[in-house]
Structures are given as structure tokens and as C-alpha cells.
Amino acid sequence: MKRVYLDNAATTPMAPEIIQMMSEMMKTHFANPSSVHSFGRESKTVVENARKSIANLLNTSPGSIFFTSGGTEADNMAIKCGIDDHKITHAITSKLSHHAVLYPLEDLETEGRIKLSYIDIDESGVVSLPHLKELLANNPRTFVSIMHANNEIGTIQDIKAIGEICKEYNAIFHSDTVQTIAHFPFDMKELNVDFMAASAHKFHGPKGVGFVYISENIQIKPLLRGGAQERNMRAGTENVYGIAALAMAMEMAYEHLEEEVKYIKGLKSYMIEKFKTEMQDVQFYGKCTDMDNSLYTVLSVNFPETDIAEMLLFNLDILGVACSGGSACASGGSKSSHVLSSINPESKRPGIRFSFSKYNTKKDIDFAIAKLKELFN
């Protein structure tokens, strides 16, 4: 049976070049990077070269990059350590934040360690900068966590403007950039961001490896205690070949960024046009149709009310179309999307997220549209 994969915001297929590199490195660089013998030093060199490469791509110093198991650990490290070590008692986030941000902040609020404020958002999911200023002006020093681009509806926030506001009020600024690292250019010298998170599997690297960017202006203690790895900032033997693959995936992404962005935007535009011309009463969440203000990899679609709404994803899967209802990180459960509920709480229309990569084609989109027409017509 023919199948198409349109769930790249959940995870991307690994690039064949990276699979080959990892396979070879598993044979040659198996040693613990903490070991002082030649085998260990060779593994350590791989880790440090990857750190330098990533830092160069982000225009920052290698000392600001700390490897983690992925975006969730990076977010938790930034939030818990940033708040605890700086004795922060007030935090601001958006109700559209990923659960890797919302849950640790909610835990700290439940424990009575912080007051948690939610910034106003408009119908597209864009945060209110005037409200941010108001919250910062009327509270003690604050930890602000605003994700760069939403993983479900694709709305992009102006993190440069947010960073400047945070700097004005001496706030600590964390941004979940898991959906945008290696998809958009970053110049950390131009951004007043204290923490950022990344995960390799979002840009054709392996699962289980990512990093947290920590500004040189911020000092925190480690979240995980044990060994002295990552310059005493993250205990645990380094995932050497995973780290090498993370760096290689970023290098490949940025080397071909312009052409891949153009190609994937073309796929997204093609699917939007297909929906408009071949299906009735289809709407789009957030700023999905605005190519300059949304993730070019994500198209979040709002379909007409239907008796098969709860089975829509299942039926599409049976027909060979892989996609998500909101966030794939939670789609295995029965809960509705907290993001879609926040921007349109009364709607009974089903929402589906289609997300693209360089490995998709227009034929994939034609196939998906044909199967959707079977279900709705």
C-alpha cells in the first residue's frame, strides 16, 4: 500500500548521509570522551568539534553550547535552573507553549515557588508585546518563556523584539526554538536570548540528542548531577555519534537552507491551493497561509464538522496518510490540543497538522488531498 509521511514537525526522517556517518563512527569512536587515553581523546575531539561547528552556525561561542538528550531536557534545564539559581519568583509564558515548557512552570507554580502569568495572544497566536511590558513592569524580576514558533499552528514570534523588552526590564528570556533551529538563520550576537533549545530529530538528525544554548551572561548550576561532563553542566557520558550527527545535520541544513526553504514553501503553497480549489469550507489556523510569518514546514488545517471527526486521523492513517491532530507529542492520548483550544475554544471543527520536509513531493500532497476528498465527499 502506498503511504506518505506528512508529519515532519513531529520528527523528520534521518538523512542517509547521517545514517552512514553514524554507522561508521560507532565502529571507530566508541570510547568514553572522559577517558584520558587516545581512544577517549579521539571521542572528545568529535564532541568538541561538533560544539565549535554549532557555535559557528549560530554566531556564538562554543562555551554557550551544552549537549542534552533533546529539546525537553534543554527546556527543563533552562526553566528549572534559571528560576531556582536566580531566585526568580515570577514567570511569564503563553498558553500555546509546548508541554515541555508548560508542565515544569506549572509544577513550580503548584509548589508555591513562582507566580505564573500568561501573556495575551491574538486569534493567530501572536503574543501581545504591550501586555508583556505591563506584566514585567508590575512584577519582580521575571523569567520569560516564549516559543519561537508554535509546533501546531506554525505562528512565529518576534523573539528579537521580545528579547529587547526583557533586557529593558532585566528579565531572563528563554525561547523554545526546537521547531526553528536549522530551519531559520540565527545570529546570537543580535538576539537578547538567555536560553534556547534544539533537538536533532527535527532536522533529519537522530532522536535522543540536542542542546541548550546558555548566554554567557547567565550562570546556572546543572540540572543533572553525577559526572563532570559538559564542563560540569550536564552529567552523563556524551552521546558521541549522536552529537556528531547533530552537528552534521545542522551543517547540511544551513548549507542548503535557501534552496530547501524555497522548495518546502512551494510544497506548502501547493497544498494550500489544492485545499482552496478542491475542497469546501476548509480554513487555516494561525498565520499558516502567511509564508513570511509562519513555519514554512507546517500547515494547520481546520476542516468542516463531521461525524468522523474523532476518527479522522485514524482513517487517514488507514488510507496511507501520516499526519497529526495538533501535536504528535500528545496525539496518542484522548485530550484535545491545548493550542487549538486556546485560540478557538468553542470550535467543534477537527484540526489536522500537515508538516513537510525536503523529502516530500507534490505527488505526496496529491495523494493526501485525494484521500481527504474520499473522507469528506
Contact (Cβ atoms closer than 8 angstroms) between residue 54 and residue 46: no
Give, in order, the Cα–Cα distances in Å from 255 to each of 87, 191, 252, 258: 41, 22, 5, 8
Distance CA 56, CA 46 (A): 15
Rg of the chain, C-alpha, whole Å? 21
DSSP state of 135: H
Secondary element (H or E) of residue 259: helix 257-278
What is the CA angle 170-171-176, rounded to 5?
145
Distance CA 37, CA 215 (A): 32
- The one-letter amino acid code at 32 reads N
Distance CA 126, CA 158 (A): 9
Contact (Cβ atoms closer than 8 angstroms) between residue 102 and residue 76: no
The one catalytic residue among 166, 288, 323, 329: 329
Told to judge if 329 belongs to the known catalytic residues of this protein, a careful annotator would answer yes
DSSP, collapsed to helix, strand or coil, labels residue 141 as coil
Question: What DSSP string runs through 188-201?
Answer: TTT---SEEEEEGG
Q: How many CB atoms lie within 10 A of CB 336?
A: 15
Distance CA 149, CA 294 (A): 7
Backbone angles phi, psi at 308, to 5 degrees: -100, 20
Distance CA 245, CA 20 (A): 10
Catalytically active residues, by annotation = 329
